[in-house]
Amino acid sequence: MSKRCQLTGTTVLYGNHVSHANNKRRRRFLPNLQYKRIWDEENKRFVRVRLTARAIKTVTKKGLSAMLNER
């Protein structure tokens, strides 16, 4: 399964791990993905989605339908 948020599309970022001696090696920054059941008001049922922690906070504040409309 891909490491991608289903609402925001946030995915893996790449960068360098830099040691104290300034040695650089490639690393991956993984998104903080969580499974969450969210109530869909239009369909009157729960929907299971895989979201980042930031997207969960935004859905809690705005609502699922508002997030889908701005996408």
6 within a domain of the structure (yes/no): no
Using the predicted structure, report yes or no on whether residue 8 has a pLDDT greater than 80: yes
2 within a domain of the structure (yes/no): no
- pLDDT value at position 44? 93
- pLDDT value at position 65? 85
- pLDDT value at position 51? 95
Q: What burial class does residue 52 get, using C-beta atoms within 10 Å of its C-beta: 0-12 exposed, 13-18 middle, 19+ buried?
A: buried
- pLDDT value at position 60? 92
- pLDDT value at position 1? 78
- Per-residue pLDDT tens over the stretch 17-67: 999 999 999 999 999 999 999 998 888 999 999 999 999 999 999 988 888
Which of 9, 33, 22, 44 has its CA nearest to residue 65? 44
CATH number of the domain where residue 40 is located: 2.30.170.40
Using the predicted structure, report yes or no on whether residue 5 has a pLDDT greater than 80: yes
Evaluate whether 56 touches 37 at the Cβ level (below 8 Å). no
7 within a domain of the structure (yes/no): no
